[in-house]
Chains A and B, each alone.
Chain A
Amino acid sequence: MLKQRLIDALGADAVKTEPEDLAVYAFDAYSQGVVPAAVVLPANTREVAAAVKIAKDCGEPIVARGAGTGLCGGAAPARGGVVFSFARMNRVLEVDVRNRRARVQPGLINLDLSKHVAASGLFYAPDPSSQKVSTIGGNIGTNAGGPHCLSYGTTVNHILELEIVDENGDVTTTSVDDIGYDLTGLLVGSEGTLAIVCSAWVRLLRQPETVRVWLAAFDDINAASAAVTGIIGAGIIPTALEMLDRVMLPPIEAAFHAGYPTDAAAVLLIESAGFEDEMNLHENEIRRVMKENGATTWRAAKSQAERDALWAGRKGALGATGRLAPNYYIQDVVVPRTKLPQALKAVEDACAPQGIIAGNVFHAGDGNLHPLLLYDRGDPKQVAAVIEAGNEILKAAVDLGGTISGEHGIGSEKRDTLRRIFSTDDLATMSRVREVFDPRRSLNPEKIFPAGVGCAEVA
């Protein structure tokens, strides 16, 4: 019934029902969910709306999916249902160069947008490390960040207007310029639990006149943390300020030949983009703070190729962990920037007693840590140890005044952890929004909210 109706509405090519096809869509980069009953690949908003109505009629939950690169189970169906893939809605629909904005479909790959508008001297700022594969729709779902959001802000700061399909299959639009509630700001980061985004007007920025990238190495990770605090405290906000530690440097260098020292305790990768006139001043100030905090190496990338190599190492860091262990588990927590030394120590304290090696590659300027816990999935003891250490890290971040996710989202992974930062009243308030948009909880069910918040999910 469901399958036939979907095929009638979208065409056989746009509906997948074979078990071997469906099995793939049970996964995302974090977890395995329940195999969906069907996968649809709509070609336009009308087809999205039609498929939503059919899923609703048949009582099937709906999971909208980008590239599945999410790291918290947000795209893995918790109850099966109908998965919406936006692989066929992947175009740039319109570029408005004068007003620096573009209208795009949700399946567009993040990096492809910047490539598309590069000739006009523009770029799309949010740059999650997954940007070669992850989609704008998925980025909107998680309010994705990236190294450069230190200065440019996360995805929500770059979304101007959304075309959405709601749980009834009705199409509407929201705009940051609408008089009324800022539903656009609310929808970004709602992990597909409120509506399905079918197109978006996004903000584009002018390419900076000058970009400089520097590398500073330290023989003590606390000195590197102090240097981060020193830069921010001195009132300098670089475009990006990333840290890589001693565990991660050798495998990254081996994989990418990026030019990182392999014997340092920590490396800071710093980028400043802007006007030539200000750049020497920035460089001098940043260099001074680095030296004052004991940097053993200071190097400026001399060419675009050198800059690209340094960034390729940073953005490919997760893949390089394969040289250290069969599997990794990446955490995503944020602490106030001055608490980085304590947070890094907490990571070490959580992992070392369990015999787990943890590497760190993260957005230091934002206080956004990404400890990589290295382990072997085949060893149940290691799996249990990683889970426990991950929880300890979450607890430590909260104790330090931080939060449990900076850019990956809550998904299924952290839904019960949400209670650590929000009271019952806070969560009940959040739940009111869900009730307005999705009273039956059919959109990406069992995500974000802890079990038991909101009547529909009480066990």
Chain B
Amino acid sequence: MIASTLPDKIVPKSLDALRETLERCDREGLKVSVEGGKTLSGMGPVLPRADVALITTALSAILAHEYHDLTCSAQSGVRVAQLNAALGEHGQFIPIDVPLRKKATIGGSLAAGWPGPRRHMYGRARDFVIGSQVALADGTLANAGGMVVKNVSGYDMSKLYIGSFGTLAVFTQLNFKTLPLPKKRRAMIAPLPEATRARAIERIASLVVPPAAAFCVEGFGKNVDGADDIDGRVLLYFEGTEELLERATLDTRSALGKAGVPETTIVDTGAAESLDRTIDACIANKRGRSITYRLFGSPGTAQERAERMRDACNRHELFTDVLFDVMNGDVFVRASERDASHFGAKIEACHADLRELEPRCTIVACDSVARASFEAWGAVPPAIEKMRAMKARFDPHGTLNPGRFIGGI
């Protein structure tokens, strides 16, 4: 492995400054690490070489909120929470469910393509992007989409940049459609030991009024509410009118009761924060002695996949925290060790096992030291050659986050 160098940091305060930085780096063969709030920097490998860290946080203007049109536009360095607070003044929001949303930028969140737990209800964050502006590797600005909610005028280029980890272009501006804020939120937390889990999950999945988000959690201590339920708990989040939530509460209690879950705690004040904490836990890291893996899959197989991965970690005598998304099927497994000095040897063998078990599991939280040792992204997707060709066509000099993404793109 080539040792990483400490890059110079540039925080452009204007679009022109950002363009000029990129143009110069591209021309001079400098490698650029593109960064937003750095909240998901634990994903993917450390860049083999980064000459310049280009940080977008000073591009922080909310450009428009056309609240009668339910659209808005903001520069890419705006924080997710900041944008939603501004939209909230007119009773609107965008469901960008990313960890650490107070710090995460909209550009970084969309570049990482983090798929949130409410997507089964609202759609993915990508489905709310109606237009974008990016700076290409050579500093050229390119627009896509517009400020209307429906648009099939040419390729939807925003889709290509979303989830590309800044390897094709740098978001400078994003336009969104917004949603009306739900009138009320409610969290419900219940203990969920393994014996009752499968039945309870089936019942949650078939609730007539589905939760906006639902997690099954083992471990994670106080990172996630309901930490006293050490054998596992389920956290449900409902959004809607008072009337709907009352019905959802009755239905959920009844469904969980039939599955053998006797008690359910209701949290109304702070329900949104409870959801935030759970999302944050997905990347909660124990410095130097933990790795968190994420595995996508169908909701119907989430429990099975989570338990398989947990058992693999346990076989290596690692502490294991497990969290899975009941509605979407995302599984998060954190393997850790109390003593950092023992972690390295154990995780190396565990990592190999996990990859054999689930070749497409991805590391989402990990210190840079450990990230240097493991391939972070997992098995390459079938269309990797098209992706490589795309990278070559968009960034021929390998300027933008080279080697940051899957398959070395």
Identify the A interface with B (CB < 8 A).
Answer: 96, 98-99, 101, 142-143, 145, 149, 153-154, 156-157, 166, 172-183, 185-186, 188-190, 209, 229, 232-233, 235-237, 275, 277-278, 281, 334-338, 363, 366-368, 401-410, 414, 418, 421-423, 425-427, 429-430, 432-437, 448-449
Q: Which of A189, A336, A437 contacts B386 (CB 8 A)?
A: A437
Contacting pair B144 A334 (CB below 8 A): no
Say whether B338 faces chain A, with CB atoms less than 8 Å apart: no
Q: Which residues of B contact A410 (CB under 8 A)?
A: 152-154
Q: Which residues of A contact B140 (CB under 8 A)?
A: 425, 429
Report the Cα distance A452→B159, complex, angstroms. 25
Contacting pair B66 A338 (CB below 8 A): yes
- Contact residues, B357-409 vs A (CB, 8 A): 360, 362, 377-378, 380-384, 386-387, 389-390, 393-394, 405-407, 409
Q: Which chain A residue lies CB-closest to B163?
A: A182
Chain B window 48-66, contacts with chain A (Cβ cutoff 8 Å), 1 for yes, 0 for no: 0000000000000000001
Q: Contacts A98-B205, A157-B127 given; indicate if A367 touches B153 (C-beta within 8 A).
A: no
Chain B window 145-177, contacts with chain A (Cβ cutoff 8 Å), 1 for yes, 0 for no: 011111111111101101110001000000000
A-B pairs with lowest CB-CB distance, top 6 = A185-B159, A235-B180, A178-B381, A429-B142, A406-B150, A177-B296
Q: Apart from A157-B123, A336-B71, A406-B150, what are 6 other A-B pairs with CB-CB below 8 Å? A: A98-B300, A173-B382, A183-B386, A233-B67, A337-B68, A433-B160
Q: Which of A172, A182, A232 contacts B69 (CB 8 A)?
A: A232
Contacting pair B152 A189 (CB below 8 A): yes
Contacting pair B159 A182 (CB below 8 A): yes
Report the Cα distance A407→B151, complex, angstroms. 7
Q: Which residues of A contact B160 (CB under 8 A)?
A: 181-183, 185-186, 433
The count of A-to-B residue pairs whose CB atoms sit within 8 angstroms is 215
Q: Which of A180, A182, A418 contacts B162 (CB 8 A)?
A: A182
Contacting pair B68 A174 (CB below 8 A): no
Q: Which chain A residue lies CB-closest to B179?
A: A237
Q: Which of B150, B154, B168, B240 contacts A145 (CB 8 A)?
A: B150
For B160, B168, B407, the residue with the greatest tally of chain A CB atoms inside 10 Å of its CB is B160
For B127, B148, B168, B393, the residue with the greatest tally of chain A CB atoms inside 10 Å of its CB is B148
Contacting pair B382 A172 (CB below 8 A): yes
Report the Cα distance A57→B131, complex, angstroms. 39
Q: Contacts A143-B156, A156-B156 given; indicate if A367 touches B243 (C-beta within 8 A).
A: no
Say whether B30 faces chain A, with CB atoms less than 8 Å apart: no
For B70, B155, B393, the residue with the greatest tally of chain A CB atoms inside 10 Å of its CB is B155
Q: Which chain A residue lies CB-closest to B156?
A: A189
Q: Which chain B residue lies CB-closest to A332?
A: B152
Say whether B33 faces chain A, with CB atoms less than 8 Å apart: no
Show 8 A/B contacts (Cβ-Cβ < 8 Å), sorted by A.
Answer: A156-B159, A185-B156, A188-B156, A237-B70, A337-B68, A338-B69, A367-B149, A448-B154
Report the Cα distance A367→B151, complex, angstroms. 11
Q: Contacts A277-B243, A436-B390 given; indicate if A174 touches B381 (C-beta within 8 A).
A: yes
Contacting pair A407 B152 (CB below 8 A): yes
Q: Which residues of A contact B386 (CB under 8 A)?
A: 166, 172, 181, 183, 436-437
Say whether B5 faces chain A, with CB atoms less than 8 Å apart: no
Q: Which chain B residue lies CB-closest to A166?
A: B386
Q: Which residues of A contact B144 (CB under 8 A)?
A: 426, 429-430
Contacting pair A426 B66 (CB below 8 A): no
Contacting pair B157 A429 (CB below 8 A): yes
Contacting pair A408 B154 (CB below 8 A): no
Q: Which of A101, A233, A433 contacts B155 (CB 8 A)?
A: A433
Q: Which residues of A contact B244 (CB under 8 A)?
A: 275, 277-278
Q: Which residues of B contact A96 (CB under 8 A)?
A: 298, 300
For B150, B209, B299, the residue with the greatest tally of chain A CB atoms inside 10 Å of its CB is B150
Q: Contacts A179-B360, A429-B157 given; indicate if A335 touches B148 (C-beta within 8 A).
A: yes
Say whether B143 faces chain A, with CB atoms less than 8 Å apart: yes
For A153, A166, A188, A409, the residue with the greatest tally of chain B CB atoms inside 10 Å of its CB is A153
Report the Cα distance A363→B387, complex, angstroms. 36
Q: Which residues of B contact A143 (CB under 8 A)?
A: 152, 156
Contacting pair B389 A179 (CB below 8 A): no
Q: Which chain B residue lies CB-closest to A434?
A: B155
Contacting pair B148 A421 (CB below 8 A): no
Contacting pair B406 A179 (CB below 8 A): yes
Say whether B106 faces chain A, with CB atoms less than 8 Å apart: no
Contacting pair B91 A235 (CB below 8 A): yes
Q: Which residues of A contact B68 (CB under 8 A)?
A: 229, 232-233, 337-338
Contacting pair B381 A185 (CB below 8 A): no
For A229, A233, A336, the residue with the greatest tally of chain B CB atoms inside 10 Å of its CB is A336
Q: Which chain B residue lies CB-closest to A230?
A: B68
Contacting pair B148 A401 (CB below 8 A): yes
Report the Cα distance A174→B160, complex, angstroms. 13
